Amino acid sequence: MKIVYGLLLVSCNVLSVKAADVAGVVVDSSTKEPLIGATVQLAGSQVGTATDIDGKFSLNADDGNLIVKYVSYKDKTVSVSWLKAGNDTITLVPDNTVLGELTVTARARQDSEATVVEKTKNSMTVQNGVSSQQIKKTQDKDASEVIKRVPGISIIDDKFVMVRGLSQRYNNVWINGSAVPSSEADSRAFSFDLIPSSQLDNIMIVKSPSPELPADFSGGFILVNTRNLPEENSSSVSIGGNINDRTHFRDFLSIKGSKTDFLGFDNGFRSLNGGMNGSLQPAAGGRGVNLLGNGFNNDWRVKESTPYSDLSLGANTNYQWHTADDHRIGLLGAINYSYSYRTLENMTNSLFGAYDVEHDRSNYLRNSTDDQYTENARVGAMLNLTFVPDGNKGRYELKNIFNQIGKNRYTQRHGFNAQSEMEQSAEYYYSSRTIFNTQFTGENTIKGKNELNWNIGYAYANKNTPDRRRYTLTNAMDPDRIGLVTGNDIQREFTFLKEHIASAGLNYSRDFEIGKIKPTVKAGGYGEYRSRDYRTRAFYYNWDVQSNNLPDDFRYMSMQELLSNEAYYGDDMLYLFEEMRWRDSYKGNNTLLASYLAFNIPVGKLNVYAGVRFEHSRMELISNSSDYEESPYSRFYDYNDFFPTVNTVYKFTDKQQMRLAYGKSVNRQEFREVSGSVYYDFDLASNVQGNADLKPCYIHNLDLRYEFYPSAGELISVAAFFKKFNDPIEWSYRVQGGTDLLYYYKNAKGAISYGIEVDIKKSLDFIGLDDFSLLFNGSLIKSEVSFNPGDLESDRPMQGQSPYLINTGIF
Q: Any residues with CB less than 8 A from the CB of 541 and at least 6 apart, and which?
A: 487, 489, 490, 491, 563, 574, 575, 576
**pLDDT at 708 (0 to 100):** 92
Tell me, what DSSP letter sits at residue 724?
Answer: E
Spatial distance between the Cα atoms of 286 and 282, rounded to a whole number of angstroms: 5
Of 60-64, 330-334, 486-490, the least confident: 486-490
**pLDDT at 501 (0 to 100):** 93
| DSSP line for 598-623 | EEEEEETTEEEEEEEEEEEEEEEEEE
Place 17 in a pLDDT band, splitting at 50, 70 and 90.
very low
Q: Any residues with CB less than 8 A from the CB of 598 and at least 6 apart, and which?
A: 210, 211, 212, 521, 522, 523, 609, 610, 611, 612, 645
Of 48-52, 102-106, 163-167, the least confident: 102-106
Of the candidates 796, 719, 619, 803, the one whose C-alpha atom is nearest the C-alpha of residue 150 is 719
Residue 538 has pLDDT above 90, yes or no: no
Most confident of 370-384, 543-557, 569-583: 370-384
For residues 777 and 353, the model is more confident at 777
Residues in the chain: 811
Spatial distance between the Cα atoms of 201 and 209, rounded to a whole number of angstroms: 23
Residue 107 has pLDDT above 60, yes or no: no
Q: Average the pLDDT over 651-665 and give the result.
A: 93
**pLDDT at 404 (0 to 100):** 92
Would you say 430 and 467 are in contact if contact means Cβ atoms under 8 Å apart? yes
Residue 716 has pLDDT above 70, yes or no: yes
Place 548 in a pLDDT band, splitting at 50, 70 and 90.
low
Q: Any residues with CB less than 8 A from the CB of 523 and at least 6 apart, and which?
A: 507, 508, 509, 595, 596, 597, 598
Residue 641 has pLDDT above 80, yes or no: yes
Residue 343 has pLDDT above 90, yes or no: yes
Cα 385 from chain centre: 23
**pLDDT at 489 (0 to 100):** 79
Domains and CATH numbers, the chain: 11-92 (2.60.40.1120), 113-237 (2.170.130.10), 282-810 (2.40.170)
Spatial distance between the Cα atoms of 164 and 703, rounded to a whole number of angstroms: 12
- For 674, the enclosing helix (H) or strand (E) is helix 671-674
Q: Average the pLDDT over 769-773 and give the result.
A: 77
Would you say 217 and 167 are in contact if contact means Cβ atoms under 8 Å apart? no
- Per-residue pLDDT tens over the stretch 161-188: 778 878 778 888 888 888 877 766 666 6
Would you say 475 and 421 are in contact if contact means Cβ atoms under 8 Å apart? yes
Of 300-304, 540-544, 762-766, 779-783, the least confident: 540-544
Name the 3-class secondary structure at 283: helix
**pLDDT at 488 (0 to 100):** 66
For residues 131 and 204, the model is more confident at 204
Beta strands in 13-81 (DSSP E): 21-28, 39-42, 48-50, 56-60, 65-69, 76-79
Q: Any residues with CB less than 8 A from the CB of 106 and at least 6 apart, and which?
A: 37, 392
What are the distances in angstroms from CA 410 to CA 10, 22, 244, 257?
36, 51, 19, 12
Residue 9 has pLDDT above 70, yes or no: no
Place 575 in a pLDDT band, splitting at 50, 70 and 90.
confident
- For 563, the enclosing helix (H) or strand (E) is helix 559-564
For residues 607 and 168, the model is more confident at 607
Of the candidates 647, 707, 673, the one whose C-alpha atom is nearest the C-alpha of residue 206 is 647
Residue-averaged pLDDT of the chain? 82
Place 706 in a pLDDT band, splitting at 50, 70 and 90.
very high
**pLDDT at 103 (0 to 100):** 47
Q: Any residues with CB less than 8 A from the CB of 162 and at least 6 apart, and which?
A: 153, 154, 155, 156, 168, 171, 219, 800, 802
Sheet of strand 56-60, all strands in order from the earlier edge strand to the far edge: 56-60, 21-28, 89-92
Would you say 613 and 594 are in contact if contact means Cβ atoms under 8 Å apart? yes
Residue 757 has pLDDT above 80, yes or no: yes
Spatial distance between the Cα atoms of 795 and 787, rounded to a whole number of angstroms: 6
**pLDDT at 254 (0 to 100):** 92
Portion of the chain with pLDDT greater than 70, in percent? 85
Of the candidates 261, 262, 278, the one whose C-alpha atom is nearest the C-alpha of residue 270 is 261
Q: Are strands 220-226 and 171-175 parallel, antiparallel or unpaired?
A: parallel
Q: Average the pLDDT over 218-226 and give the result.
A: 85
Q: Any residues with CB less than 8 A from the CB of 745 and at least 6 apart, and which?
A: 669, 673, 690, 691, 694, 729, 730, 731, 732
Spatial distance between the Cα atoms of 694 and 215, rounded to a whole number of angstroms: 19
**pLDDT at 498 (0 to 100):** 92
Quickly count: other Cβ atoms within 10 Å of residue 138's Cβ: 16
Q: Is the dihedral of CA 28, 32, 37, 43 positive or negative?
A: positive
Quickly count: other Cβ atoms within 10 Å of residue 728's Cβ: 28
Of the candidates 49, 689, 159, 200, the one whose C-alpha atom is nearest the C-alpha of residue 431 is 159
pTM over 0.85: no
For residues 686 and 339, the model is more confident at 339
Of 179-193, 285-299, 334-348, 623-637, the least confident: 285-299
Quickly count: other Cβ atoms within 10 Å of residue 536's Cβ: 20
- Per-residue pLDDT tens over the stretch 223-235: 888 877 777 788 8
For residues 73 and 684, the model is more confident at 73
Spatial distance between the Cα atoms of 763 and 99, rounded to a whole number of angstroms: 38
Radius of gyration of the chain (CA): 30
Of 257-266, 329-338, 491-500, 787-796, the least confident: 787-796
Q: Average the pLDDT over 299-311 and give the result.
A: 91
